[in-house]
Amino acid sequence: MPRTTTLECPGCPPLRALTFDSLGLIKVIESRGERGTPQVVERWGDPVSSKCVLAASFDDRKKDPLLAVARKNREVEVVNPLNGEIHVVFSNVGEDGVQPEDDAISGLHLFRRERSSGSCTLLTCASKGNASMRSIGVDKSTADSASISVTKTWKVCGSGNVLCSKVDGSENYAVFGGKGVEVNLWDLENSTKIWTAKPPPKNSLGIFTPSWFTCTTFLSNDDHRKFVAGTNSHQVHLYDISAQRRPVLSFDFRETAIKAITEDQDGHTIYTGNGSGDLASFDMRTGKLLGCFIGKCSGSIRSIARHPELPVIASCGLDSYLRLWDIKTRQLLSAVFLKQHLTNVVFDSNFVDKEVAATAQNANEIQTTEVQTEDEMGTLPVKRKKASKEKREKKKKSEESKETIVLKSKKKSRKHKREICDDS
């Protein structure tokens, strides 16, 4: 029998995550309590293989949040992430008659800036390089009626397959890459390419190996000039468009393809997952391996998400487990088995556990009442404690000894006076 090890999971803080799988299901996982166990609380959709979720984008604002989902049959859905209600469904099939299997959606982004209530803007990119931006308006009174207008369309590449894309924090720029497609940066406002990477040189035998990028992310939300890309040849490249067209930093990670990359909020740390289930963090200032996360996954990692507030990341993949990790200790906090192959995971940063909030509020109230009572007690006269018997006895003895000394001194003084009188 194979040797197995069991890990004790301490549980994770209160959080809410949404997972997407190969059968098109959306599952809501919640953890309640200070060290709770995550559980599936809701499941949206029906299991259909043609509705496999390929990409997801989440706008988790407090008021009117939205979730966009791209499926294998080239349908895009705009969903309410609180109850699973579908607002809009539209097809991304073009007029060229390309079949969905030949040109699946590889990139999706739901714009957060300048989004009014009941309307949104979506960026979609297909594997053949067809990118488009759509403005969608939803009438809440009648969910079936939605106004969809294509505002911009352009071609990302002339050949190859686009496999990954990412929009920066300002939502003005986007990077695309794929199999036979060099990573390139686009200005979304003008739909123009502003930078493209230089192909790798030939090896020592004179053989040229075309690029094969599998995932990409920007290193910081504030700087669109630096981004990281993972390749199918287990390499991680750091690009700086202000420096050069080739990578400014490159290193290998294990021996399988890089499948998922996400950035940290500090602006220089990334989290990388590969096809053999290895998860690690790197410092991109030096390319140093900070450490591998304890508890190896048994399948390819397909998505990594960083919680916006808590020191927690989530990973999911083909082993059907959602795993939650502590960033500081790199230990496994909890794992949830979700039956299907998982493709994506996102966090809901506005989730608040009512029980934890109530206990915190009660603790604050108790603390304030204790402070008030202490202040009130400070104005009252303080009662002295009664001395113990031993202290009283010691006190009596000391008083008696003092009295005897005084009496002796008085006797001596009287005797001395008498002697003086007799002499006189």
pLDDT tens-digit series, residues 130-142: 999 999 987 655 5
**CA 154 to CA 173: how far, in whole Å?**
14
Let me know: does 165 contact 142? Beta carbons within 8 Å. no
Q: For residue 5, what pLDDT is reported?
A: 42
Let me know: does 178 contact 161? Beta carbons within 8 Å. yes
Q: For residue 294, what pLDDT is reported?
A: 85
Q: For residue 267, what pLDDT is reported?
A: 94
List, as one string, the DSSP characters of 30-88: EE-STTB--EEEEEES---GGG-EEEEEEE--SSS-EEEEEETTSEEEEE-TTT--EEE
pLDDT at residue 327 greater than cutoff 90: yes
Q: For residue 243, what pLDDT is reported?
A: 93
The residue among 228 and 399 whose pLDDT is bigger is 228
Q: What is the pTM of this model?
A: 0.81
pLDDT confidence tier of residue 288, bands split at 50, 70 and 90: very high
Instruction: Give mean pLDDT, residues 143-154.
Output: 81
Tokens 């488009």, residue located: 132
* Lowest mean per-residue pLDDT among 10-14, 266-270, 364-368: 364-368
**CA 209 to CA 80: how far, in whole Å?**
44
**CA 87 to CA 105: how far, in whole Å?**
20
Q: For residue 423, what pLDDT is reported?
A: 58
Q: For residue 68, what pLDDT is reported?
A: 96
Contacts of 98 (CB under 8 A, 6+ apart): 128
AA letter at 210: P
Instruction: Give mean pLDDT, residues 207-219.
Output: 94
pLDDT confidence tier of residue 411, bands split at 50, 70 and 90: low
List, as one string, the DSSP characters of 399-413: HHHHHHHHHHHHHHH
AA letter at 222: D
pLDDT at residue 254 greater than cutoff 70: yes
Q: Which residues of 231-241 are buried (b: 16+ CB within 10 A; e: fewer)?
A: bbebbbbbbeb
The residue among 384 and 114 whose pLDDT is bigger is 114
pLDDT at residue 188 greater than cutoff 50: yes
AA letter at 114: E
Instruction: Give mean pLDDT, residues 52-78.
Output: 94
The residue among 221 and 26 whose pLDDT is bigger is 26
Average pLDDT, the chain: 85
* Lowest mean per-residue pLDDT among 81-85, 275-279, 382-386, 390-394: 382-386
pLDDT at residue 236 greater than cutoff 80: yes
